[in-house]
Amino acid sequence: MTSPACWSATDGRRISGSPTPSNQTCAAHLLRRTGELIADSVAGQARVPRAARRILKHALAFRDQRDEDVIDADEFGLKVTEINERTDKLLAMRPTHKPKRRLIQHLTNGREHMSRS
């Protein structure tokens, strides 16, 4: 079960398709997991988790900018397109390192929810 803090990290909104808080992965969990993978990595194994972490942080920053009226809906749409392109490129990677494969699979499974506000 996802904690209330994690639910609030997903904006407290249900994403279309009506998922419940218990089947969404909040950004905090993904950021923590990518941080763990980066910390545990050796010999270039951090490339995938670093890319995923950058995408997540940028997506959250764009969402915040939209919510604070720093960027308008059109600019936000362009940012979402950019995030989607970067995410597609990341998910197309086929790493051989098992923890990175699992991260890619996890992100792939949640892909439809990642770019929604």
What is residue 114's predicted lDDT score, i.e. its pLDDT? Answer: 60
Its domain, for residue 30, covers 26-114
pTM, entire model? 0.75
* Residue 54 resides in a domain: yes
* Residue 55 resides in a domain: yes
Per-residue model confidence as pLDDT tens digits over 66-77: 999 999 999 999
pLDDT averaged over the chain?
A: 80
* Residue 73 resides in a domain: yes
Query: CA 50, 55, 56 angle in degrees (round to 5)?
Result: 95
**Does residue 22 have a pLDDT over 50?**
no
Alpha-carbon distance of 50 to 103, in angstroms, equals 11
How many structural domains comprise the chain? Answer: 1
**63 neighbors 42 (Cβ within 8 angstroms):** no
Alpha-carbon distance of 117 to 99, in angstroms, equals 28
Determine the average pLDDT of the residues in 78-97: 94
